[in-house]
Structure 1
Amino acid sequence: MSNAAGSGGRSGLTLRKVKDVATVFVDRLADRSPFCRVAATGARPMTAKKTLVLVVDDDEAVRESLKFSLELEGLGVGLCKTGEELVEHPQLASAECLVLDFKMPEMDGIAVIKTVRALGFATPAIVITGHATAVLRQLAADVGAHAVLQKPLDGSVLLDCIREAIGLP
């Protein structure tokens, strides 16, 4: 029997001991952050509820990129192409954060936030745009948006903003 199979050999290290050490390490990571268990094992604890973020952008590449990066962090992500699609989304009521492009056909991000508010939802909203001006920032603040972020998004800025908006560490 080889060392990998569990005989131990000279070092006394067995496959079982390696698994035990890995389990302790993952458990310690999970104690520090709700997102660490996902990153370390790919599985969430049975009792954990995924935070749902709904992303609205008319650019498919942007939607898919945001979905990929947010899911890597353990968030649940729903995608919408338009503001109208968001308003009719079956999970709008359970979303914990909205990420909206400002410039979209038919209904821009500010109009979408106004519509969501008129429906009675106070869900935190983050506006993303290629041109963050002082006027846009003021419009966003006036409708209760949590933040306006400039595209392309830099590193973990969006994730940090989402965490802040919904009160996660």
Structure 2
Amino acid sequence: MIEVSSHPARPSSPARPTVFVVDDDAAVLGSLRFLLETDGFAVRTFRSGTALLNIGSTAGPDCYVIDYKMPDINGIELAGRLRKSDRHVPVILITGYPDENISARAATAGIKDVVLKPLLDENLVKCIRHAIQDHPRA
């Protein structure tokens, strides 16, 4: 007897790019999760740099979005630590506290893009898409 499924096979869909977002502000994390998921990204959030560093071995992201000013470790220091273990995953720094040297310090840590928090929406999504396109996972 041949069994016929009442559920048609779903066409396989390409994997959604994964973004890890690190910010100590729960409201910002929620907003960024909503924004990025709406734009087709899979999102995992972390309330601190330490929480991200302590996740152990897991499938990594296609891009990190990291807040600059956090109580445990700032975003530039976190990016530097991440670079030691995964040199190819792009990092985007977000900040509400820009200063004249932040871009230079970020570049030293391997961060190409710095995005200001009040202007995140489309700027952030564009930066993520470009970063992932420029650094495809092997």
1:103 aligned to 2:69? yes
Runs (5+) with no aligned partner, structure 2: 1-9
Cα displacement string for residues 109-130 of structure 1 (whole angstroms, at most 9, x for unaligned residues): 0110011112244310000001
1:116 aligned to 2:85? no
Does the aligned pair in 2 maintain the 1:132–1:149 contact within 8 Å? no
Distance 2:96 2:119 in 1: 9
Match of 1:51 in 2: 17
Distance change (3 Å), C-alpha of 1:123 and 1:92: farther
Distance 1:71 1:157 in 2: 15
Root mean square deviation, CA, Å = 1.9
Distance 1:45 1:107 in 2: 43
Distance 2:95 2:124 in 1: 12
Match of 1:61 in 2: 27
Does the aligned pair in 1 maintain the 2:113–2:127 contact within 8 Å? yes
Kindly name which structure, 1 or 2, has the bigger radius of gyration based on alpha carbons.
Answer: 1
| Paired residue secondary structure (1:71) | helix
Distance 1:67 1:91 in 2: 22
Structure 1 range deviating more: 53-62 or 146-155 = 146-155
Which letter maps to 1:79? T
Runs (5+) with no aligned partner, structure 1: 1-43
Distance change (3 Å), C-alpha of 1:95 and 1:77: same
Distance change (3 Å), C-alpha of 1:120 and 1:97: closer
Give aligned pairs, total.
Answer: 125
Distance 2:119 2:90 in 1: 18
Structure 2 length-normalised TM? 0.83
How far is 1:150 from its partner? 0.8
How far is 1:146 from its partner? 2.0
Counterpart among 108, 121, 126 of residue 155 in structure 1: 121
| Paired residue secondary structure (1:134) | coil
Distance 2:71 2:49 in 1: 9
Q: Quick one: higher RCO (CA 8 Å, sep 6+), 1 or 2? A: 2
Match of 1:131 in 2: 97
Does the aligned pair in 2 maintain the 1:102–1:129 contact within 8 Å? yes
Distance 1:152 1:94 in 2: 28
